[in-house]
């Protein structure tokens, strides 16, 4: 029998219209959307369903919006496949909070409030610094690390073979892009982001997030959730708290996280939330892995059919 791991989407996956068809088709999805609005005290669901894009793209809306859509996908999957079981979970950056909530480490409402505040704190850190990010395509990790050292920037995301993301001061990122191209990168592309996520420039957000996490109850996980920071399973609740704070400035070890799960015998992965970026990464990491996703009604039906 195949072992299943759940993968939860991260920031950047947001798209206007996400979750709208699910909320129209399933009372459960509408219920969670209403619950999110009540928890936060504003109409987050409407921003997800209808935009405008500029409002959804704001970090303080994108993070809780993706958390909500990913949670709805998770709840609908459990509803439609009553005997559904998963044995591990992981999430890309923001998605790690959703993975922890799905594994019972925090309540939905607490997770939603924390990621909303996390988004605000990260936006404040962006505004206090002049940071940016760039995708480096077709250059290996060692060569990219050399570029980072030379330019004075950080390696922020190790997504899959041949796709890395760097982060740092905007002028240094521009220099790093040129250095990466000179080293033979197929593409080196500045990204349309508000700041230098997963770099030391985000340090201003950490004490505020630490204080926010101290207000909620964090429990041990019911199944292993792999940390972005060290690609190891989360342990005690105080350790979960510490890793989530560290995660703000630490690189996201996504490829290593996936390889840990593959080495443990996981063969089926279900991406939950908007987009299919994580499915794309897995195809580059292991072509043999079975990948399903739930982002809308069509993908939900396809995944339910595959699981049944």
Q: What is the average pLDDT across 283-294? A: 97
**Claim to verify: residue 177 and residue 218 sit in the same structural domain:** no
pLDDT of 179-223, one tens digit each?
999 999 999 999 988 899 999 999 999 999 999 999 999 999 999
| Any domain includes 195 | no
**Claim to verify: residue 50 and residue 118 sit in the same structural domain:** yes
Give the residue from 190, 214, 234 where a domain finishes.
190
CATH of the domain at 205: 3.40.366.10
47, 99 contact by CB (below 8 A): no
> HSE (CB half, 13 Å, CA atoms) of 271?
25
Give the residue from 190, 217, 234 where a domain finishes.
190
Residues ≥6 apart with Cβ < 8 Å to 147: 136, 139, 153, 166, 176, 179, 180, 183
Residue 170: strand, helix, or coil? helix
Q: What is the average pLDDT across 168-177? A: 97
**Claim to verify: residue 17 and residue 78 sit in the same structural domain:** yes
Residue 192: per-residue pLDDT = 85
**Claim to verify: residue 213 and residue 262 sit in the same structural domain:** yes
The total of structural domains in the chain comes to 2
**Global pTM value:** 0.96
Residue 230: per-residue pLDDT = 97
- Distance of alpha carbon 271 from alpha carbon 293, whole angstroms: 4
Q: Give strand ranges (E) for the chain.
A: 3-8, 88-91, 131-137, 154-160, 163-169, 187-190, 266-272, 290-294
pLDDT of 56-112, one tens digit each?
999 999 999 999 999 999 999 999 998 999 999 999 999 999 999 999 999 999 999
pLDDT over 90, % of the chain: 97
25, 49 contact by CB (below 8 A): no
Q: How confident is the model at residue 19 (pLDDT cuts 50, 70, 90)?
A: very high
**Claim to verify: residue 186 and residue 207 sit in the same structural domain:** no
Q: What is the average pLDDT across 153-177? A: 96
Residue 194: per-residue pLDDT = 87
Print the domain residue range for 303: 3-127+200-307
Residue 308: per-residue pLDDT = 87
Catalytic annotation, residues: 93, 198
CATH of the domain at 180: 3.30.70.250
| Any domain includes 241 | yes
| Mean predicted lDDT score pLDDT of the chain | 96
Q: What is the average pLDDT across 106-131? A: 96
- Distance of alpha carbon 1 from alpha carbon 291, whole angstroms: 15
- Distance of alpha carbon 65 from alpha carbon 74, whole angstroms: 14
Residue 228: strand, helix, or coil? coil
| Any domain includes 299 | yes
Give the residue from 159, 190, 221 where a domain finishes.
190
**Claim to verify: residue 66 and residue 137 sit in the same structural domain:** no
**Claim to verify: residue 108 and residue 226 sit in the same structural domain:** yes
Q: What is the average pLDDT across 243-260? A: 98
Q: What is the average pLDDT across 13-31? A: 96
| Any domain includes 87 | yes
Buried b (16+ CB within 10 A) or exposed e, 180-192: beebebeebeeee
Cis before residue 95, ω within 30 degrees of 0? Answer: no
**Claim to verify: residue 260 and residue 140 sit in the same structural domain:** no
pLDDT tops 90 at residue 1:
no
**Claim to verify: residue 205 and residue 123 sit in the same structural domain:** yes
**Claim to verify: residue 95 and residue 241 sit in the same structural domain:** yes
Question: Can you read off the two tokens belonging to residue 146?
Answer: 């050399």
**Claim to verify: residue 95 and residue 164 sit in the same structural domain:** no
**Claim to verify: residue 302 and residue 260 sit in the same structural domain:** yes
């Amino acid at each position: 029998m195949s072992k299943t791991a759940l993968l939860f989407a991260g920031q950047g996956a947001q798209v206007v219209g996400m979750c709208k068809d699910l909320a129209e088709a399933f009372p459960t999805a509408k219920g969670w959307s209403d619950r999110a609005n009540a928890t936060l005290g504003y109409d987050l669901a409407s921003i997800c369903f209808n935009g405008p894009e500029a409002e959804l793209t704001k970090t303080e809306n994108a993070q809780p919006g993706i958390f909500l859509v990913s949670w709805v996908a998770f709840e609908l999957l459990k509803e439609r496949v009553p005997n559904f079981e998963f044995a591990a979970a992981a999430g890309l950056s923001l998605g790690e909070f959703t993975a922890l909530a799905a594994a019972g480490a925090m309540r939905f409402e607490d997770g939603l409030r924390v990621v909303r505040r996390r988004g605000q704190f990260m936006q404040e850190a962006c505004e206090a610094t002049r940071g940016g990010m760039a995708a480096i395509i077709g250059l290996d990790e060692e060569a990219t690390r050399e570029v980072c050292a030379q330019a004075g920037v950080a390696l922020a995301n190790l997504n899959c073979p041949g796709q890395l993301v760097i982060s740092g001061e905007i002028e240094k990122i521009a220099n790093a892009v040129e250095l990466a191209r000179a080293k033979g990168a197929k593409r080196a592309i500045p990204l349309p982001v508000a700041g230098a996520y997963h770099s030391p420039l985000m340090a201003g957000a950490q004490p505020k997030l630490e204080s926010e996490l101290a207000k909620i109850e964090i429990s041990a996980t019911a199944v292993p959730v792999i940390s972005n920071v060290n690609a190891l399973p989360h342990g005690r609740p105080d350790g979960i708290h510490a890793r989530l704070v560290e995660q703000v400035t630490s690189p996201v070890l996504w490829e290593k996280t996936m390889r840990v799960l593959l080495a443990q015998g996981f063969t089926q992965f279900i991406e939950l939330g908007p987009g299919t970026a994580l499915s794309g990464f897995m195809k580059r990491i292991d072509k043999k892995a079975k990948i399903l996703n739930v982002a809308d009604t069509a993908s939900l039906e396809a995944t339910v059919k595959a699981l049944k």
